[in-house]
Amino acid sequence: FVAKIFLTYEQSKNLFAAEKVLVTGNPVRAAFAAGLSRTQEKKVGRRILIFGGSQGAAVINKTVVAMLSFLQKMKDKVSVVHQTGERDLAMVRQAYEQYGIEAQVSPFIVDMVSAYTASDLIICRAGATSLSEITVAGKASILIPFPFAANDHQVLNAQAMVEAGAAAMILESELTAEKLYSFVESLLDDHQKLQDMEVRSKKLGRPDAAARIVDACMQLVPKNKRLSKNEEKS
């Protein structure tokens, strides 16, 4: 019964009537896209950004902590920004201190624009909003989909990124500290591979998604029912 269907990924087009479909991407905040041009802060070597949603992700936190014994080998050329949620904050912070790895560990990240801008590699879940922000920012990522998401949509999101060459994926059922480190090491030690992933990620980004959705919706409104510019402002 809908007149228009807005999609994030090209791969979803064949699930719907072609005449109703428009691939726009998932909207991100205008301030987010605009803020990505700000000057980067100084950092040690490569920067890894790790987050698991507003509450953190316990599985990611524990796996990263177990990975630090391997990451310690790269501590002179790697720094980390890690959003843990409240529950695992002390445990994760102590682990970075134990291994002497430079890290900013916090329960929440208020300024995600700065966090994205300064990062070289992102480790996170595969929710639609996170992936939209990652691609608008043009960042490489290692995605660990939440296994209990409705209709397994996070795995499908991650697969779309992997197929485009924009990300790597580790299923939670296959996640180990050794495997995560091997992915991190292979990307951070291969500048060309990392750069290629960034370029492919950027190609998927749609900073104008919200505007395209609004424009398409306006086309569905009869011309005599549309507000004039003056009426919109009043």
29-51 per-position pLDDT tens digit: 877 777 776 666 667 689 999 99
Residue 227 has pLDDT above 90, yes or no: no
Collapsing DSSP states into helix, strand and coil, what is residue 124? Answer: strand
Residue 223 has pLDDT above 60, yes or no: yes
Percent of the chain with pLDDT strictly greater than 90? 80
37: how many CB neighbours lie within 10 A of its CB?
Answer: 8
Calculate ∠ Cα 157-148-83, nearest 5°. 75
Residue 128 has pLDDT above 70, yes or no: yes
Burial class (CB in 10 A: 0-12, 13-18, 19+), 97: exposed
Confidence band of 232 (pLDDT split at 50, 70, 90)? low
Residue 228: per-residue pLDDT: 59
Closest to 96 in 3D by CA, of 155, 50, 139: 50
Average pLDDT, the chain: 92
pTM of the predicted protein model: 0.88
DSSP secondary structure string for all residues of 157-197? HHHHHHHTTSEEE--GGG--HHHHHHHHHHHHT-HHHHHHH
- CA atoms lying within 13 Å on the CB side of residue 43: 24
Confidence band of 10 (pLDDT split at 50, 70, 90)? confident
Token couple for 94: 């102590």
Residue 90 has pLDDT above 90, yes or no: yes
Residue 44: per-residue pLDDT: 67
Residue 124 has pLDDT above 80, yes or no: yes
Residue 36: per-residue pLDDT: 78
Q: Strands, E, within the chain: which ranges?
A: 5-7, 21-23, 46-50, 78-83, 103-106, 121-124, 140-143, 167-169
Amino acid at 198: E
- H or E segment to which residue 66 belongs: helix 58-71
The rounded distance, in Å, linking the Cα atoms of 108 and 42 is: 21
All structural domains of the chain, each given as residue ranges with its CATH number in brackets, are 5-25+209-233 (no CATH), 38-204 (3.40.50.2000)
